[in-house]
Amino acid sequence: MAEELVFIPGRWDITYNYAAGKVSSKFFAELRDNKRLMGIKCSRCGRVMMPPRGFCERCFAPAGEWVEVGPEGTIQAFTITVEKFEGNPDPPFAVAYVQLDGADTAMLNYVRGLDFSDLNRAAESLRVGTRVRVVYKEQRAGEVTDFEYELV
Amino acid sequence: MTRRVAIVGIAQTRLETEKPDQILDEVIFEAASKALADAGIGREEVDSITIAAADQIDGRPISSMLEACPAGAYLKDEIKTTEEGSYAAILASLRIMSGVFDSALVVSWSKCSEVPVTRVSNYGAEPFFHRPFGLNYITTTGFMVNAYRAKYGLPEMAAAKVVVKNRGNALNNPLACYQTPVSTEEVLSSRIVAWPVRAMDMAPLCDGACALVLASEERARGMVQPPVWIQGMGWATETYYLGERDLSRLTSLEVAARRAYAMAGVTNPLRELDVAEIHDIADYHELMAYEALGLCPWGQAARLMEEGVTEMGGRLPVNPSGGALSGSPFFATGLVRLAEAALQVRGDAGRRQVKGAKRALAHGSYGFCGQGNSVFILGE
């Protein structure tokens, strides 16, 4: 007789309350209240970081001046997720790292308004180097998904 | 001059899609006790224990509380790394080099069958700007491949050939999870999961553990196994923020390799190495690693693959074991690469042995798009 093997289900259910800090909080408030995307300049090398951060990892120096970036930018990397993964939105959906005009790093968000009926064609329309613009949502909660990208 | 470190004991469990007949502790015990047996010593003769594991995959916070003793740590020194399996070997080596310890048991594991690892991986996404976008180790591979494609074109056929090569090699590895050959047609017609990455481009996850015994030069003398020397080690970490990186290349691997080569005195890796075990998270990742490791110029990995250089019988066989593409015990995969490279140098790799292998490279990787990388050079 085959031995019975027991499985015990388990689950981590822990609520976090991540502090966004002053820098990210300002970014989210500008996004929500003024429909503006703000990057921040490294006080030493001057590169404009998007998303904004309190310091530059490379120079190991604090960030300084705020700089408005966008509203258009260039795709640096993208993917179209086709598989359903637990916890993810329903596929297919496209996300892209976009270097917004005036920024030196690329920021991730959804690219909306794509036709996924032909996946290769959809991917072609997102080719690295493609120009996109920022679209703000009507209802904004002060979080990164308050905006998204669409093809120019 | 720091002390030399040798690998004197090597063990892995069989890699399997699931191990319902063993609890995690028993899988760990199996690998650790087999490594000690291979080294011909008892647990009491090892003076340090270094482990590597991921709490979220183990399903318990600070999993070392539970898993240290199955790894041999009862009333001993024990310390844990949380990057990836190969990092436990780095830390253990440094601890021996320091002179504080003379021997080390290094253990890493994952039982991927017990948890959706893509979900765990998604929780690795920073919560403010990254987590809402469905990132995991598969979808981020999509970013990397598209960035590479924009620069050099999509090496789809060469990538498929990596899978065919590795899965073919696994036929000679009785420990591999998947010991069945595949064709390029099967790879190229498998479903797309994160465009242009297909299901069969990704290393399939599995259950397993790996353990090594390390020893100082004095301690290695007179042990039952011929010592496999760690001639060089290098490791480096890139920024987490993918939007700040050049995703078309594995920059931190390039840095890690440069350090390991300098320490080992390797100037022409393609000529001076006999075999390499690369942490192939995806077939495209193995190709990109060829470039970062300096085996070919940037953008030339597909050609290297097409020319058969990295096949068994080629100038530098890569992943005779079958690599992660033949089964990846996620967190332990880099340590498995090191174990396999050590077996090659020792001449104990059975049917997957590269004849006359004297010098081997092992690579470990962690994080989205290969954020952090380690490189070992092993020799007789």
CA–CA min distance B132, chain A (Å): 8
Split into its structural domains, chain B has a count of: 1
Is B204's Cβ below 8 Å from some Cβ in A?
no
Give which of B18, B55, B146 to mutate to test A binding, by max A Cβ within 10 Å.
Answer: B146
> Of A23, A4, A58, which Cα lies nearest the Cα of B20?
A4
According to the model, what pLDDT value does residue B197 have? Answer: 98
Q: What is the pLDDT of residues A60-77, one digit of tens each?
A: 999 999 999 999 999 999
| Residue numbers of the domain that contains B53 | 5-116+205-220
A67: helix, strand or coil: strand
**Closest Cβ opposite residue B194 in set A50, A82, A87:** A82
Q: Is residue B196 part of a domain?
A: no
- Report d(CA B107, CA B12) in Å as an integer: 10
- Report d(CA B73, CA B53) in Å as an integer: 15
Report whether A81 contacts B137 (CB < 8 A): no
Q: What is the pLDDT of residues A74-114, one digit of tens each?
A: 999 999 999 999 999 999 999 999 999 999 999 999 999 99
- Given a cut of 90, is residue A3 above it in pLDDT? no
**CATH number where B105 lies:** 3.40.47.10
Q: Is residue B322 part of a domain?
A: no
Q: Is residue B100 part of a domain?
A: yes
Q: Global pTM?
A: 0.97
- B196 and A128 in contact by Cβ < 8 A? no
**Closest Cβ opposite residue A144 in set B129, B149, B243:** B129
Neighbours of B168 (CB within 10 A): 16
Is B194's Cβ below 8 Å from some Cβ in A?
yes
> Of B131, B243, B124, B125, which Cα lies nearest the Cα of A107?
B243
Report whether B320 contacts B172 (CB < 8 A): yes
In the predicted model, residues of chain B with pLDDT beneath 50 are: none
Is B241's Cβ below 8 Å from some Cβ in A?
yes
Share of chain A above pLDDT 90, in %: 96
Is A88's Cβ below 8 Å from some Cβ in B?
yes
Residues of B in contact with A89 (CB under 8 A): 134
Residue with more model confidence, A12 or B91: B91
According to the model, what pLDDT value does residue A121 have? Answer: 97
Residues of A in contact with B239 (CB under 8 A): 57
Is A145's Cβ below 8 Å from some Cβ in B?
yes
Is A81's Cβ below 8 Å from some Cβ in B?
yes
Q: Is residue B59 part of a domain?
A: yes
Is A45's Cβ below 8 Å from some Cβ in B?
no
Segment A35-39 mean pLDDT: 98
- Report d(CA A76, CA B141) in Å as an integer: 14
Is A89's Cβ below 8 Å from some Cβ in B?
yes
Residues of B in contact with A10 (CB under 8 A): 59
CA–CA min distance B330, chain A (Å): 17
According to the model, what pLDDT value does residue B196 have? Answer: 97
- Given a cut of 70, is residue A1 above it in pLDDT? no
CA–CA min distance B252, chain A (Å): 14
Q: What is the pLDDT of residues B288-309, one digit of tens each?
A: 999 999 999 999 999 999 999 9
Q: Is residue B96 part of a domain?
A: yes
> Of B279, B93, B301, B292, which Cα lies nearest the Cα of B203?
B279
CA–CA min distance A68, chain B (Å): 17
Q: Is residue B126 part of a domain?
A: no
> Of B13, B110, B22, B29, which Cα lies nearest the Cα of B71?
B29
CA–CA min distance A121, chain B (Å): 11
Residues of A in contact with B244 (CB under 8 A): 49, 57, 105-106
According to the model, what pLDDT value does residue B1 have? Answer: 52
Q: Is residue B174 part of a domain?
A: no
Is B122's Cβ below 8 Å from some Cβ in A?
yes
CA–CA min distance A105, chain B (Å): 5
According to the model, what pLDDT value does residue B2 have? Answer: 79
